[in-house]
Structure 1
Amino acid sequence: MSGDVRVLVVDDEPRIARAHAEYVGRVTGFAVAGIAGTADGALREARAAQRRGEPIDLVLADVGLPDRSGLELAADLAELSPRPDVIVITSARDIATVRGAMARGAILYLIKPFTFAAFADRLERYRGFRSALAGGDVGQREVDAAFAALRDAPSAPAAPKGMAPSTLEAVTGALRHADGPLGAADVAAQTGVSRVTAWRYLERLANDRLCERITEYGGRGRPEVRYRWL
């Protein structure tokens, strides 16, 4: 972990937290330093890391935490020195939430659902931001370069090529709110797309490790593959 960007993952859904932690581990130069399920737990983790002399560099904070908003957590982290940077992760798309995140110190905003490519893109932007501000004193040129790295880095699309963001969101929503695994036919019925289209989106989500494939055997015929959100 030495030399890596130390990341604290904060999400109250254990499966999602583990998925985000796995994503972090797939991006070179980043390492998971801890996982927390509440804002208070995240603040304790960050304080403990600071006392150990291993401060958290980056916090991936979900907005909908059970004790306090992830936006409040972003503001609370300002008490630490050095202060961790924050990327807010949320399904909220309203301007008030976005502005609130920025006002409380979040440097980037990642909207669910997202692919690994979109996630990795945000971490790469953050890497560029850190690199531009590395060293001691900085001037206007370095500051401008740092914010340009956040704003102008090549962006991976939230929906892969050939996939509509609205359909991706609908398929993801069906999985996230299901009581159990769903097959392509189930998702097609809920979203209004064809079974083949539902299968294509489900396979993409599985390849990006946002959901898992479950093969069910029983009766005659071919086994059925069902999908469960992680």
Structure 2
Amino acid sequence: MIRVMIVEDEPLIAEAHRAYVERVPGFSVHTVVHDGSGAVRAAASASGGGDPIDLVLLDFGLPDAGGLDVAAALSGVRPSPDIIAVTSARDLEIVRTAVTRGIALYLLKPFTFAAFRDKLERYREYRDALPAGSNALSQHDIDRAISALRTSDERAVSPKGVAPQTLDHVSACIRAAEGPMTAAELAAAIGVSRVTAWRYLEHLADDGVLTRHTEYGRAGRPQIRYAVR
């Protein structure tokens, strides 16, 4: 099993990430911490106890330290864990620095379970591509491992008829809303048909990103509103 540490300051989001990890075969949650200093202590303690953490899901918006600084500190733990950045930061300089700090993959919030699972499965392929207990890697070994991390086929993680860019747009809109939205309200806000808005909302609800709230009026059909979980 690949041992995972979740670093997320929002307890509800941390628990959602835990649930996601537990849905992906081959991964288990080692520990959950809510700040950068706790992450470094937990990683060092696990390594010292002979049960090192393999992978860190690292939120960048921590209360006590920046994600990049935490990543640098974790690189000093031996053996050092691999890191997947889980963040809403889209700044090019941050992304470039993340690469130089050894962050293996970058997962933008908000995301669906399919996108989350894709990152973990690619990381597992990367580990599987490296021969166990060997320091003498061939060029083929290295190329295969790097390819597992860097190659992504959006069609494989997005159901038919669901475009990743539109999904991101829908997610951002409903997260910015003051309250739950109907498909008609979302359609008007982002300029798509009501049916298209409904399809994306249902996709996000099925993935556990949104919740459904049914309202019963005095006349007509009940109305479904969607909100961030």
- SS of structure 1 residue aligned to 2:24: coil
Aligned partner of 1:184 in structure 2 is 183
Partner secondary structure for residue 182 of structure 1: coil
- Structure 1 residues 202 and 155: CA distance shift in structure 2, 3 A: closer
User: Where does the alignment leave 5 or more consecutive residues of structure 1 unmatched?
Assistant: none
CA contact (8 A) 1:13 1:37 kept: yes
**Code of the aligned partner of 2:133:** G
Matches within 5 A, 1:1-230: 4-133=1-130, 134-141=132-139, 142-152=141-151, 159-230=158-229
CA distance in 1, matches of 2:155, 2:122: 11
Q: State the alpha-carbon separation in 2 of the partners of residues 94 and 159 from structure 1.
A: 25
Amino acid at match of 1:10: V
Instruction: Give the % identical residues.
Output: 53
**Residue range with higher mean Cα deviation, 141-150 or 168-177:** 141-150
Q: If the length of structure 1 is used for normalisation, what is the TM-score?
A: 0.87
Q: Work out whether residues 182 and 227 of structure 1, in 8 Å CA contact, stay in contact via their aligned partners in 2.
A: yes
In structure 2, the CA distance between the partners of 1:137 and 1:35, relative to structure 1 (3 Å rule), is same
Q: How many residues align?
A: 227
Q: CA deviation at 1:17?
A: 2.2
Aligned mates of 1:57, 1:109 — CA distance in 2: 16
How far apart are the structure 1 equivalents of 2:192 and 2:137? 53
Aligned partner of residue 89 in structure 1, secondary structure: strand
1:42 positional shift: 2.0
Q: Are the equivalent residues in 1 in contact too, given 2:174–2:228 (CA < 8 A)?
A: yes
Note the C-alpha offset of 1:192. Answer: 2.5
Separation (CA, whole Å) in 1 of partners of 2:13 and 2:3: 19
The CA deviation at 1:100 is 0.8
Q: Distance in 1 between matches of 2:102 and 2:65?
A: 16
Aligned pair in 2 of structure 1 residues 186, 41: CA closer, same or farther (>3 Å)? farther
How far off its partner does 1:218 sit?
4.8
Unaligned runs of 5+ in 2: none
The answer to whether the 8 Å contact 2:154/2:164 transfers is no
